[in-house]
Structure 1
Amino acid sequence: MLTQLYIQNIAVIEKTSIEFQPGFNIFTGETGAGKSILIDAISAVLGFRTSRDLIRTGADKAIVTALFDRLSQDTVDALAEFGYEPEEDGSLLLSREFSAEGKNTCKIGGRPATVSILREVAQTLINIHGQHDNQALMAPDKHIKFIDSFADTENLLASYRQQYAQLQDIRKQLEKLNVDEAEKAYRIDLLTYQIDEISDADLKPGEEEELIVQKKRIGNSAKIVESITQADAALNGDDESEGLVAMLGTAKDAIAMAGRYFTNLEEMAARVDEIYYELREYASDIRNYTTDLDFDEGDIDRIELRLDTIYKLKHKYGSSVEEILSYLEKSTEELSSINHSEELQQKLNAQLAQVTYNAQKMAEELSERRQQAAILFTDAVGEELKFLDMPFVRLEVKNEIGALSADGIDNMEFMISTNPGEPPKPLSKIASGGELSRIMLSLKNVIADKDQVGTLIFDEIDTGVSGRAAQKIGQKLAQVSKGRQIICVTHLAQVASYADNHLLIEKNIRNARTYTEVHSLDKAERIHEIARIIGGADITDTVLKNAEEMLRLAEKQA
C-alpha cells in the first residue's frame, strides 16, 4: 500500500509531500491544476518511461519518492530475486531522480537499482488504469490479454511461446536451405573462394597491431640505436670515461667504509648497495639490447606487403582481423550446411514436425483454458455491470480458431449486446464513452481479484459518465477499496463523495510563477470542494447542503 509520495520539481509542482490512507483516496481539483502530473510522477517512480520535459522550468533535476507498507508476498519475492529486501518494519522506499541532462538515478530501499529492476518490483505494488486503457477495448487484438489475465495462463503461455519461437527459428533455417540449384551452386562457388582467400592469408589475432609496432620500430631504428648506445655509455662507460655503475660502485664502497665508524651511515650504505645492484642489472640489460639491435631494412617491405593483404581482406570481410576470422568461421559453417543440405533438411523437417506437434498441443490446452475462463469471466463481468446500472448489457467472447501465432490459435474479441433481444456486436463499434468506462471498470475489478497488487490507481475512469451511473462507480470503487487501496482522479462529485481520504490539487500563482499544491481535506473542506464540483463558481447555501447530503448518503451506503 502506498503511504507517502514526495514530489520535487515535477512540472508545476515545486515540492509536495502527499499522505495516503488505506481504502479510497480521491484527487479532485480545477481543470489544469495538475492532476495528470501526479499520475506522471507516480509512473516515474514506478520505473516507467519519462520525459525530461517533466522537470520544472529552471530546475536541474526532479525527484520522486514513494513509501509503501503492508507488502504482498509477490513484492517480497520480487525484491529477493534482485537481491533487495524490505526494511525491518516491513516498509519499502522507492526513489527516482532524473536530470535535464538525461541522467537517471533509481533506488530501492536506499540501494542503487536500474530502471528495469525498479519497474519489475513496482508492478507488484501498483496498477495504474488510465483513460488510454479504454482504447485497449477498442482494439480487438488486445482483448485476449484480459482473458489471459483472468485465466492465469502466464506460465502456460510463456512455455508455448518458447515452442513457437523455436518453430519460427526452424522455419527460417529451412527457408535458407530451400534455394534453387543455381543459387546453391553460386553460393558454393562464392563461399569456397572466400574461405580459400582468407585461409591462404593465415591470419592471426592481434597480428595487424604487432605489424604496425614493428613498422614503427624499423622506421625509427636510427633513433633507437642512438638512444640505446647513449644509455649504454652512460651506464657502463666507454674508452674516455667510466659509467654510472662504476661510479656508484666506488661510492658504495666508500660509504660502507665510513659506515664502520659512523653508525648513522649504515642505513644509507645498505640502500646505496641495493641501488647499485639494481642499476648494474639495468646496465647489463641495456648492453644486451646493443647486441640485439639488428634492423633489416628489407623487413619493411615484408611488413608493408602483409599489412596490404590484411587491408584488402578487411575491405571485404570485416573491420579487423578478428572480424575476418569470424566471417571465415560463419562461411565455413554455411558451406558445410549447403553441402549437407539434404541431410540437414531432413533433420530440420523432423524437428519441425515434432515442435509443431508440441506447439499445437500446448496451443489447444491454452485455448481450452481460455474458453473455460471466458465463461466465468463474462459471468463475473455481467454481475459487475448490473451493479453499475447496466443490467441489460451482455458481454460475450467471440473466439475464432486459427493458425498458430505468438498468442496461440485463439482470435478472441469482446462482443456486447446493450439491449435485450439484440444480437451481440463488436464492442469497438457500439459502446459509448460512458459505457466503455463502466465496462473497463468491470473488467479491471474482475481481473484485480487474480493478483496481490495492493494499490490500484484509476485516472479519470469515470470519463463520459454522470448521474446515477457515476454514483454507482463511486460505490463500486469504495467497495473494492475494502480489500485494497484505491487512488482515483475524478471530476465527479458522486465519485468523490465516497472517498475515505479526499485530496485537493490547487494551482496558485506567486511572483509570476505557477505552483501546484496538494492538501488533505477535512469534512468541512470536503463539503466545500464537492459543492464546487457541483455548482462551479457560484457556491450557494443550497449547493452546500446538496454536497453535505451527498457525503452523508455516501457514508451510509459505504
Structure 2
Amino acid sequence: MLTQLYIRNIAVIEKAEIDFHPGFTVLTGETGAGKSIIIDAIYAVLGERTSKELIRTGADQAAVSALFTGISKETEQVLRELSVPLEEDGSLLIRREIRQNGRSSCKLNNSPATVSMLKAVGATLIDILGQHESYKLLSPEAHGAYIDSFAGTNELLVAYRSAYGALRRIKGELDALESDEGQKARRMDILRYQIEELEAAQLRVGEQVELAERRDEIRNSERIVRSVSEACALLQGDENEDGAVSAVSVAAEALEQAARFAPSLNGVAQRVRDAEYALSDAAAEVSDYLDNAMFDPGELDELESRLETLYRLSLKYGETEAEMLEFLDRARKELSDIEFSDEKRGLLLEEYEEKKKEAVSLAKQLSAKRRAACESFAKRVKAELSELNMPGVTFSVEQVRTPLTSFGCDRIQFLVSANAGEEPKPMSKIASGGELSRIMLAINTVLSDTGMTETQIFDEIDTGISGEAANKVGAKLRGVSKNAQVICVTHLAQIAAMADNHLYIVKKEENNKTYTAVHPLDQADRVREIARIIGGDDITPLKLKMAEEMLNVSNGAKA
C-alpha cells in the first residue's frame, strides 16, 4: 500500500509530504487547488510520461518519492526479475526526478532504474481510474486477467503456460531444422572446416598469456641476465668482497652475542637471523635462475608463430581460448544436429504432438472455467452498475476462440452499451471517463474477495452523479477498501463523509507566488470541509449540522 508521498517543485506544490493510511481516503479542496497535481505526481513515480512543464516555475528540477509498505508477492517477483534488491522490512521506495532538460532519473530502493522498470513495478502497485486515464480497463489483456481472477484459474493457467512454453521451444527447434539440402550441405562444410581448424590448434586455456610472458622474457634476455648477475653478486659476494648474506649473518651473530647480556635484544637478533635465512634462500633462487637460464633465439620464432596462430583464430572464433573452445563445442553440436536432423526431427515431432495435446487439453479446461465465470461475472457487474446510477448500461463479456497463445485459446473483452437500443461494443469505443471509473469500481467490487492491485485511486469518479447514487458510490468505495487501499478525489459530500481518512488540498498566495498544501483533517475540520462542499464558502450552522449528521450516519454505517 502507498504509505507516504513526497512531492517537491511539482507545478504549484513547492513541497508536500503526504501520509496515507489503510482503508478509504478522500482528497477534497476547491477547484484548481492542486488535487490533480497529486495524481500527476503519482503517475510520475509509476513510470508514466512526464514533461518539464510539470516543474514549478523558477525551479531547476522536480522530484517525487513514494513509499510502499507490505508489498505483494507479485511486486516482489517483478523486483527480483529486475534485479532490484528487496528491503528486509518489505518496503519499496520509488523516486523520480525530472529536470529542465527533459530528462529524468529513477530509483527503486536506491538502485538506479529506468522509466520502463518503474512502469513494470507500478502496474503491480496502483490502479488509477479517472476521467481521462483508464488504460487497464480498456485493455482486453486486462479483461482476461479479471475473468481469471474471478474464476480462480491461477494454478491451471500456470500449468498451461508451462506446457505452452515447452511447445513454443520445440516448435523453434523444428523450424531451425527446416532448410533445404543445399543449405545443409553448405553449412556442414563450413562447420567441418571450423572444427578441423580449431581441433588442429589444440587450444589450451591460458596459453596466450603464458606464451606472451615467455616471449617478453626472451626478448629482454640480455637485460635480465645482467640484472640478475648483479643481484647475485650483491647477495653472495665474490672473491674480493662479502655479499649481503654474509654481512647479515655477521650482524645476527653480533646481536646474539650482545643479547646474552641484554635480553631485550633477543627479538631483534632473531629477526636479523630470519632475514639472513630469507636472503640466503633468495640468493639460491637467483643463482639457480642464472644456472638454468636458456634463451634460444629459435624458441622466440616458435613463440611468435604460435601467438600469430592464436591471434588469427581469435579474430574468427573468440577473444580468449575459453571462448574459442566454446565456439568449437557449439560447432560440433550444430554439425551433429544437422547430420542427425532427420532422426531428431522425428523425435521432436513426437514430443511436439505430446505437448500440443497437453497444451490443448489445458487450454480447453481454462476456456471452460472462463465460460462458466463470464456469465456470472457480467450479471454481478451489471447489478453493481445499476446501484451506481448506471441502470441503462448493458455489460457483457465476449469470449472468442483463438489459436493457442500464452493466454490459452480465448480472447476475452468487455462489451458495453451505454444507451438502450445500441449494440454492445468494446469499452474503448463507448465509455466516457466517468463511466469507465464507475465500471472499474463495479468490477473491483465484484473482485474484492479475489484479490486486486493493492492501491486503487479514483480520480473524480463522482462526475455526473448526485443524491442517492453518490451515497451508493461512496458505499462501494468503502466496500472495496476492505481489501485494498482506496484513494479518491471527490467533489461530493456524500462520498467524502464515507471516508476513513480525509486530506484537504488548499491553494494560497504569498509574495506573488502560488502554493498548494495538503492537510489531514480531524473530526471538527471534516465537518467544516463537508459543509463547504455542501454549500460553498458561506458556512452556516445549518450546513455544519448537515455535515455532522452525514459523518455520524457514515460512521454508524461503518460500525
Q: Give the whole-Å Cα distance in 2 for the aligned partners of 1:44 and 1:221.
A: 66
Q: Give the whole-Å Cα distance in 2 for the aligned partners of 1:123 and 1:139.
A: 13
Contact kept? 1:76, 1:85, Cα under 8 Å: no
Alpha-carbon spacing, 1:393–1:523, altered in 2? closer, same or farther (3 Å): same
Gap regions ≥5 residues in structure 1? 87-91
Contact kept? 1:470, 1:494, Cα under 8 Å: yes
Match of residue 539 from structure 1: 537
- Do residues 106 (structure 1) and 104 (structure 2) align? no
Q: Give the whole-Å Cα distance in 2 for the aligned partners of 1:312 and 1:223.
A: 31
Q: Quick one: which amino acid aligns to residue 6 of structure 2? A: I
Q: Quick one: which amino acid aligns to residue 556 of structure 1? A: V
Report deviation, 1:487: 1.9
SS in 2 for 1:213: helix
Contact kept? 2:504, 2:520, Cα under 8 Å: yes
Moved more, 57-66 or 488-497: 57-66
Report deviation, 1:514: 5.9
Match of residue 499 from structure 1: 499
Q: Quick one: which amino acid aligns to residue 446 of structure 2? A: V
Report deviation, 1:401: 1.1
Report deviation, 1:119: 11
Q: Quick one: which amino acid aligns to residue 129 of structure 2? A: G
Mapping of residues 262-341 of structure 1, within 5 Å:
262-341=262-341
Q: Quick one: which amino acid aligns to residue 245 of structure 1? A: V
Mapping of residues 308-387 of structure 1, within 5 Å:
308-387=308-387
Moved more, 54-63 or 279-288: 54-63
Report deviation, 1:236: 0.7
Match of residue 457 from structure 1: 456
Q: Quick one: which amino acid aligns to residue 537 of structure 2? A: I
Match of residue 204 from structure 1: 204
Report deviation, 1:491: 4.4
Match of residue 397 from structure 2: 397
Match of residue 441 from structure 2: 441
Report deviation, 1:365: 0.8
Contact kept? 2:106, 2:113, Cα under 8 Å: no
Match of residue 176 from structure 1: 176
Superposed CA deviations along residues 412-456 of structure 1, whole A, max 9, x for unmatched, are 121234455654333332323332221111112212221287x53
Report deviation, 1:383: 1.6
Report deviation, 1:510: 5.0
Contact kept? 1:403, 1:409, Cα under 8 Å: yes
Q: Give the whole-Å Cα distance in 2 for the aligned partners of 1:281 and 1:371.
A: 86
Report deviation, 1:464: 4.8
Moved more, 458-467 or 338-347: 458-467
Mapping of residues 11-22 of structure 1, within 5 Å:
11=10, 16-20=16-20
Contact kept? 1:5, 1:67, Cα under 8 Å: no
Q: Quick one: which amino acid aligns to residue 431 of structure 1? A: A
Mapping of residues 118-267 of structure 1, within 5 Å:
127-131=126-130, 134-267=134-267
Alpha-carbon spacing, 1:429–1:105, altered in 2? closer, same or farther (3 Å): closer
Match of residue 89 from structure 1: none
Mapping of residues 39-58 of structure 1, within 5 Å:
39=39, 57=59
Alpha-carbon spacing, 1:239–1:103, altered in 2? closer, same or farther (3 Å): farther
Match of residue 410 from structure 1: 410
Alpha-carbon spacing, 1:26–1:476, altered in 2? closer, same or farther (3 Å): same
Q: Quick one: which amino acid aligns to residue 297 of structure 2? A: E
SS in 1 for 2:167: helix
Q: Give the whole-Å Cα distance in 2 for the aligned partners of 1:448 and 1:328.
A: 57
What is the number of residues matched between the two proteins?
538
Report deviation, 1:352: 0.2
Q: Quick one: which amino acid aligns to residue 306 of structure 1? A: R
Alpha-carbon spacing, 1:289–1:41, altered in 2? closer, same or farther (3 Å): farther
Report deviation, 1:21: 5.0
Q: Give the whole-Å Cα distance in 1 for the aligned partners of 2:140 and 2:77.
A: 34
Q: Give the whole-Å Cα distance in 1 for the aligned partners of 2:113 and 2:196.
A: 47
Alpha-carbon spacing, 1:466–1:392, altered in 2? closer, same or farther (3 Å): closer
Q: Quick one: which amino acid aligns to residue 315 of structure 2? A: H
Moved more, 335-344 or 210-219: 210-219
SS in 1 for 2:297: coil
Q: Give the whole-Å Cα distance in 1 for the aligned partners of 2:76 and 2:340.
A: 53
Q: Quick one: which amino acid aligns to residue 553 of structure 2? A: K
Superposed CA deviations along residues 202-225 of structure 1, whole A, max 9, x for unmatched, are 221122222222222222222221
Q: Quick one: which amino acid aligns to residue 429 of structure 1? A: K
Q: What is the TM-score with the length of structure 2 in the denominator?
A: 0.82
Match of residue 556 from structure 1: 553
Alpha-carbon spacing, 1:361–1:16, altered in 2? closer, same or farther (3 Å): same
Report deviation, 1:170: 0.7
Moved more, 548-557 or 444-453: 548-557
Q: Quick one: which amino acid aligns to residue 539 of structure 1? A: D
Contact kept? 1:441, 1:461, Cα under 8 Å: no
Superposed CA deviations along residues 344-385 of structure 1, whole A, max 9, x for unmatched, are 000000000000000001101111111111122112111211
Contact kept? 2:44, 2:64, Cα under 8 Å: no
Gap regions ≥5 residues in structure 2? 80-84, 99-103
Superposed CA deviations along residues 9-58 of structure 1, whole A, max 9, x for unmatched, are 4736565444445542111235665445545666788x878989799846
Contact kept? 2:460, 2:490, Cα under 8 Å: yes
Q: Give the whole-Å Cα distance in 2 for the aligned partners of 1:74 and 1:309.
A: 53
Q: Quick one: which amino acid aligns to residue 290 of structure 2? A: T
Contact kept? 1:65, 1:93, Cα under 8 Å: yes
Q: Quick one: which amino acid aligns to residue 292 of structure 2? A: D
Q: Give the whole-Å Cα distance in 2 for the aligned partners of 1:320 and 1:512.
A: 67
Q: Give the whole-Å Cα distance in 2 for the aligned partners of 1:253 and 1:157.
A: 85
Contact kept? 1:28, 1:504, Cα under 8 Å: yes
Alpha-carbon spacing, 1:365–1:312, altered in 2? closer, same or farther (3 Å): same
Q: Quick one: which amino acid aligns to residue 303 of structure 1? A: L
Q: Give the whole-Å Cα distance in 2 for the aligned partners of 1:387 and 1:462.
A: 14
Q: What is the TM-score with the length of structure 1 in the denominator?
A: 0.82
Alpha-carbon spacing, 1:318–1:52, altered in 2? closer, same or farther (3 Å): farther
Contact kept? 2:490, 2:496, Cα under 8 Å: yes
Contact kept? 1:10, 1:41, Cα under 8 Å: no
Contact kept? 1:10, 1:37, Cα under 8 Å: no
Alpha-carbon spacing, 1:396–1:306, altered in 2? closer, same or farther (3 Å): same
Alpha-carbon spacing, 1:335–1:495, altered in 2? closer, same or farther (3 Å): same
Q: Give the whole-Å Cα distance in 1 for the aligned partners of 2:509 and 2:291.
A: 85
Report deviation, 1:259: 2.6
Q: Give the whole-Å Cα distance in 2 for the aligned partners of 1:51 and 1:312.
A: 51
Match of residue 82 from structure 2: none
Contact kept? 1:503, 1:521, Cα under 8 Å: yes
Match of residue 6 from structure 2: 7
